[in-house]
Amino acid sequence: MMRNLLWGLLLAVGLAQGNTLSTRPPVELNISSGLEPVCFYEDKRYSKGAVISVGDRLLVCEREKSFEQNGRLSWHPFPLKEGSKP
């Protein structure tokens, strides 16, 4: 009985101080596991800067909006120099 009372008192003091007791193991998150922005084409993932050929056009995987630093990616026409052909 005294042991249970002591345990309850320690638990109450710990909770009052903002400390919690947990028997669960810590959870680790690997945030680089597929959460980075990518472009998709034919069920394949492409990273920023990837260039693909679709028909007679070249497309590059770039930021969807030019002002975003870490936003979504989308396919854009690949910029070619004047007079050059894909």
Identify whether 13 is part of a domain.
Answer: no
Give domain status of residue 28, yes or no. Answer: no
Is residue 46 assigned to a domain? Answer: yes
Q: Is 42 left (phi over 0), alpha (psi -120 to 50) or beta?
A: left
pLDDT at 53: 93
Model confidence, pTM: 0.52
Q: Residue 23: inside a domain, yes or no?
A: no
What is the predicted pLDDT for the residue at 63? Answer: 87
Note the pLDDT tens digit of each residue in 51-68.
999 999 999 999 887 776
Mean pLDDT by 10 residues, the chain (86 residues): 60 57 63 73 91 93 79 87 58
Flag whether 2 is in a domain.
Answer: no
Per the listing, tokens 């400390």 go with 19
Residue 14 is assigned to a structural domain of this protein: no
pLDDT of residue 80: 74
In a domain, 41, yes or no: yes
Determine the pLDDT at residue 31: 55
In a domain, 57, yes or no: yes
Q: Count the domains in the chain.
A: 1
**Is residue 71 within 8 Å of residue 37, measured between CB atoms?**
yes
Tell me which residue range forms the domain holding 54.
33-81
Q: What is the pLDDT of residue 12?
A: 63
